[in-house]
Structure 1
């Protein structure tokens, strides 16, 4: 049973498909880190606005961390997502992946490779 709905983004007012909550498939937003509560405001956001909101919230969280506070951070305890997301987990520079602090925080520890965005 397909329960996909067409919704209007509460951020940009564009139309988008939201949710297929059958047992086999999940909504596209389930590929993103589960960092929002439904009560945090408004209705669903389109994929572009949702990604931007995730990036903003993650960047704000990362700015509050010191190396001591990064150990045991909440990112490492979140359910793992199936894929890496450009702009959240990494960006591409000179055709190479550069992992962001969120990627490292999800791993839960320093890999000792001197990564540019290591929060530890």
Structure 2
């Protein structure tokens, strides 16, 4: 019994070292461990499942964020504002901002994305460049 508890404790701290499928950077994946969640579970879960993915579909945070941003952009073209707000709503309470999803850095300045504004759920009336509320119905 004590032996099994020790094994379970050790399994909680195991991470799988892998390489990003796009840029080949080393990353730590915890998705195979049933008692823990991988860091990627914190990002918006809006990517379609691709049955043609390789045996190693994991991406580093930078590549996954860029890929999610492309998916958000494509959804933004086919969904109305109310639908996009509903998609973003589960992420409203997440305080940690993710580069390429919530913001980009342009000329050393942080520029909030339409996704960031959608998570707010309403316009802040500051005339933001990527405000989705003043451009859509």
- TM-score, structure 2 length as denominator? 0.65
Distance 1:91-1:11 versus aligned 2 partners, 3 A rule:
closer
Is the helix fraction higher in 1 or 2? Answer: 2
Deviating above 6 A after TM superposition, structure 1's stretches of 4 or more consecutive aligned residues are none
- Quote the residue 1:53 is aligned against: 67
Higher RCO, Cα 8 Å, sep 6+: 1
The answer for unaligned runs of 5 or more in structure 1 is none
1:94 Cα deviation after fit: 4.6
The answer for unaligned runs of 5 or more in structure 2 is 1-11
Partner of 1:98: helix, strand, or coil? strand
- Quote the residue 2:50 is aligned against: 40
1:114 Cα deviation after fit: 1.7
Query: How many residues in Structure 1 have an aligned counterpart in Structure 2?
Result: 115
| Aligned: 1:16 with 2:45 | no
1:117 Cα deviation after fit: 0.8
Aligned partners of 2:65 and 2:98 also within 8 Å:
no
Aligned partners of 2:66 and 2:101 also within 8 Å:
no
1:57 Cα deviation after fit: 0.9
Distance 1:19-1:55 versus aligned 2 partners, 3 A rule:
same
Aligned partners of 1:12 and 1:49 also within 8 Å:
yes
| Aligned: 1:5 with 2:19 | no
- TM-score, structure 1 length as denominator? 0.73
- Quote the residue 1:99 is aligned against: 112
1:10 Cα deviation after fit: 2.9
Determine which structure has more spread, i.e. the larger CA radius of gyration: 2
